[in-house]
Amino acid sequence: MTTECTDLSGPLPTSSVMAPEAGSTAAPALKDRLRDILDDHEALLGLYRDLAVLRRIDEQCLALARQGALALWAPIVGQEAVLVGAARAADRHDHLFISYRESLMAHLRGVPPEQVLPMWRGSALGGWDPAEYGITNPAIIVGAHGLHATGYAMAAALDGSQDRAIAFFGDGATSQGDLNEALNFAATTTAPVVFFCTNNQFAISVPIAQQTAVQPAQRAHGFGIPSLRVDGNDVLAVLAATRTATAHVQAGGGPYFVEAVTYRLGPHTTNDDPTRYRSAAELEAWRARDPVERMRGFLADSGLITESDADVVRSAADDAAQRYRTACAELPEPDAAGIFEHVYAAPHPLIVEERHAYADYLASLGGAAATAVPAGPSTGKEVPR
């Protein structure tokens, strides 16, 4: 006898707390999670300030990359509500495992700009002490840190500590084996970990429809992990969804999966030209759902923001952006030879060869670049001259 299994649970609705927009529905249960915040004018203004500050820092970092002061930047414009909502829902028991897209979550955790920027300038391999701030350095290997988060959570449970892990990753990461292994390990060990997927519709140029046949939040069900699909441009909905997830984990319910639906308004990184793979009309439709303006509109409609409040937020954002520019100018020059260090403890023939090839390439450019990478130890293959 065979049993046919065709129930994919159906598409999950996208839940909003603010006035729902196309494709989302109001979620009173999420609103219930925010009783303390919805009655607290300062807390609501604080969320708006966080959004505006991240937007300005992101603009500044993009400008620094365009000016050559940063080697690369992965913009978050359009996704600010995800970073702010999730980071502000997390407490000191939540250890955040982030990807490159969530670098500025470190700002919300108090990491100073001079420790956020070195990786992006190329002047250091890392940045800050993860244990000090409860947030890892950004993972560049897509999906790998889902395993790190799960391992951390399993260890925390074995230690009997109250600590939890939250792994932040993108829609594209859901195609990676590592992440799927992490989901399975977490589910079978009931590890205290939240899987937080930012579905910004693209993995570089690959649209979500080519990445997965069902929503990421639905896929979690196949592992036995409950999930929520939330409006990622609604900071209140993201905050409430993250609280729902951490409360579930804290109560011993095992892992929880959140999918925040949003859109990357900028390029994948400063090395990308998104006009090659998506339409201006699509971009405009999402620009109209700007998460920063949405929060401002919510506050204005509720009579909770005055002109002078808005001025205070603007100058806080400008000050933060200026601190990033100043910190960047004070960072050491990147050491081009540094990429060949720390891979192996002892000289390795492949690294030695690559270092020589890079030194030859730089020498071919002439000028200051010519001496940026000394050729280092012999490859043993040099042609006698």
Ligand X SMILES: Cc1ncc(C[n+]2csc(CCOP(=O)(O)OP(=O)(O)O)c2C)c(N)n1
* The one segment of 12-20, 43-51, 198-206, 254-262 that binds Mg ion by CB under 5 A: 198-206
- Report yes or no: 173 and 197 within 8 Å, Cβ to Cβ: yes
Query: Nearer Cβ to Mg ion, position 116 or 208?
Result: 208
Helix (H) or strand (E) holding 230: strand 227-231
**Mapping DSSP to helix (H, G, I), strand (E, B) and coil, where does residue 155 land?**
helix
Residue closest to ligand X, measured at CB = 170
Residue closest to Mg ion, measured at CB = 170
Query: Nearer Cβ to ligand X, position 101 or 289?
Result: 101
* The one segment of 35-43, 91-99, 169-177, 229-237 that binds Mg ion by CB under 5 A: 169-177
Any catalytic annotation for residue 109?
Answer: no
Q: Does the protein bind Mg ion through residue 170 (CB under 5 A)?
A: yes
Q: DSSP letter for 380, please.
A: S
Q: Kindly tell me the burial class for residue 291, based on how many C-beta atoms sit within 10 Å of its own C-beta (0-12, 13-18, 19 or more).
A: buried
Amino acid at 33: R
Q: Does the protein bind ligand X through residue 89 (CB under 6 A)?
A: no
Cα angle: 105, vertex 111, 112; to 5 degrees: 120
- What is the rounded CA–CA span in Å between residue 293 and residue 306? 15
Any catalytic annotation for residue 344?
Answer: no
Q: Does the protein bind ligand X through residue 101 (CB under 6 A)?
A: yes
Shortest Cβ distance from residue 160 to ligand X (Å)? 34
The pair of structure tokens assigned to 80 is 């600010």
Q: Does the protein bind ligand X through residue 291 (CB under 6 A)?
A: no
User: How many Cβ atoms from other residues are within 10 Å of residue 154's Cβ?
Assistant: 18
* Inter-CA distances, 88 with 128, 210, 295, 305, Å: 20, 32, 15, 20
Query: Nearer Cβ to ligand X, position 34 or 198?
Result: 198
Shortest Cβ distance from residue 169 to ligand X (Å)? 6
Q: Does the protein bind ligand X through residue 120 (CB under 6 A)?
A: no
- What is the rounded CA–CA span in Å between residue 19 and residue 293? 13
Q: Does the protein bind ligand X through residue 103 (CB under 6 A)?
A: no
Shortest Cβ distance from residue 363 to ligand X (Å)? 29
Footprint on residues 257-286 left by ligand X (CB under 6 A): 264, 268
- What is the rounded CA–CA span in Å between residue 239 and residue 44? 12
Query: Nearer Cβ to ligand X, position 74 or 362?
Result: 74
Helix (H) or strand (E) holding 198: strand 193-199
Q: Does the protein bind ligand X through residue 219 (CB under 6 A)?
A: no
Any catalytic annotation for residue 277?
Answer: yes
Active-site annotation holder among 101, 121, 264, 355: 264
223 binds, among ligand X, Mg ion, none (CB under 5 to 8 A by kind): none
* The one segment of 195-203, 226-234, 238-246, 313-321 that binds Mg ion by CB under 5 A: 195-203
- Contact letters (x/-) for ligand X, 166-185, by CB under 6 A? ---xxxxx------------
Q: Kindly tell me the burial class for residue 16, based on how many C-beta atoms sit within 10 Å of its own C-beta (0-12, 13-18, 19 or more).
A: buried
Among 94, 171, 259, 290, binds Mg ion (CB under 5 A): 171
For Mg ion (CB under 5 A), the number of binding residues is 5
- Report yes or no: 165 and 155 within 8 Å, Cβ to Cβ: no
Shortest Cβ distance from residue 209 to ligand X (Å)? 13
- What is the rounded CA–CA span in Å between residue 211 and residue 269? 19
Closest CA to 123 of 321, 330, 320: 330
Shortest Cβ distance from residue 173 to ligand X (Å)? 4
Active-site annotation holder among 88, 95, 107, 268: 268
Q: Does the protein bind Mg ion through residue 231 (CB under 5 A)?
A: no
User: How many Cβ atoms from other residues are within 10 Å of residue 109's Cβ?
Assistant: 16
Chain positions contacting ligand X, by CB under 6 A: 101, 140-142, 169-173, 200, 202-204, 264, 268
Contact residues for Mg ion (CB under 5 A)?
Answer: 170-172, 200, 203
Catalytic residues: 264, 268, 277
